[in-house]
Amino acid sequence: MSSKKWFVIGISGTTCSGKTSVATQLHEKLKNSIVLHQDNYFLSKDDPRHVLVKELNHFNWELITSMDMEKMYSDILQLIESFPNESNPSEMINKNILILDGFLLFKCKVISNLCDRKYFITLNKEQCWERRKERKYDPPDVPGYFEKVVWPEYIKHKDELMKDNDLYNTITFIDGSKSKKEIFEIIFNEIKKLLS
């Protein structure tokens, strides 16, 4: 695999923490970059693999199994293997850059292992709810979904990351209550240094 021509950045964290905004900004700033969003790999609403939360009569969209991660991984590999490295040596960056974002990105081990840098943006429950309640989802959140599903699944996922020492030691955690500008600058400045 020609991944040496690629520098892979993984941005994960709680729902509504600004992952996609940061990924998009990085993509705008970094030449030779491509961005892939895990959210684009959700299974269709009628897929039989979804897990129903009976008391809410609503699917649990917070599980890794609610997404086609095999497809995402295969898309990443295809990209890495087929995309030519046409960078200009006079530019700061002489590698192609792949930016991945998703709330369960590091739960998929094969994708997590591809990331040269891993960032995880955190929010506390109140901050997360304040942002989440303003967002429009398809399908929309049903009453009680955040309390019963979104937040407990996030805590469970974060605990799993914390307990996996090998993974935990490779992740930079960022406080999502900082401004989007600050979060972007923390990541961008580090990537710039690594690639210069």
> Tokens at residue 91, please?
């530019």
- Exactly one of 39, 47, 116, 141 is catalytic; name it: 39
Q: Give me the pLDDT at residue 69, please.
A: 97
Q: Is residue 104 part of a domain?
A: yes
Question: Domain tally for the chain?
Answer: 1
Q: Residue 31: which of 12, 55, 7 has the closest Cα?
A: 7
**Out of 2-6, 98-102, 149-153, 185-189, which region has the weakest mean confidence (pLDDT)?**
2-6
Q: The domain that contains 43 carries what CATH number?
A: 3.40.50.300
Q: Give me the pLDDT at residue 59, please.
A: 97
CA-to-CA dists, residue 140 to 13, 59, 84, 104, 157, angstroms:
21, 11, 40, 20, 22
Place of tokens 């923390």: 186
pLDDT band at 196 (very low <50, low <70, confident <90, very high): confident
> Tokens at residue 126, please?
């109140």
Whether the pLDDT of residue 189 is over 50: the answer is: yes
Place of tokens 């955690």: 173
- What is residue 18's three-state secondary structure? coil
Whether the pLDDT of residue 65 is over 50: the answer is: yes
Length of the chain: 196
Q: Give me the pLDDT at residue 1, please.
A: 38
Q: Is residue 1 part of a domain?
A: no
75 is catalytic: no
Task: Write out pLDDT tens, residues 86-137.
Answer: 554 444 446 799 999 999 999 999 999 999 999 999 999 999 999 999 999 8
The residue that leads in pLDDT, 175 or 86, is: 175
Q: Give me the pLDDT at residue 145, please.
A: 97
The residue that leads in pLDDT, 115 or 83, is: 115
- The sign of the dihedral angle between the CA atoms of 81, 86, 92, 98 is negative
Domain that holds residue 118: 6-195
Whether the pLDDT of residue 11 is over 90: the answer is: yes
144 sits in the region (left: phi over 0; alpha: psi -120 to 50; else beta) called left
Cα–Cα distance between 119 and 131 in angstroms, integer?
Answer: 20
> Tokens at residue 118, please?
């891993």
Q: Across all residues in the chain, what is the average pLDDT?
A: 92
The whole-model pTM stands at 0.91
Q: Is residue 66 part of a domain?
A: yes
Q: Give me the pLDDT at residue 73, please.
A: 97
Task: Write out pLDDT tens, residues 131-170.
Answer: 999 999 888 999 999 999 999 999 999 999 999 999 999 9
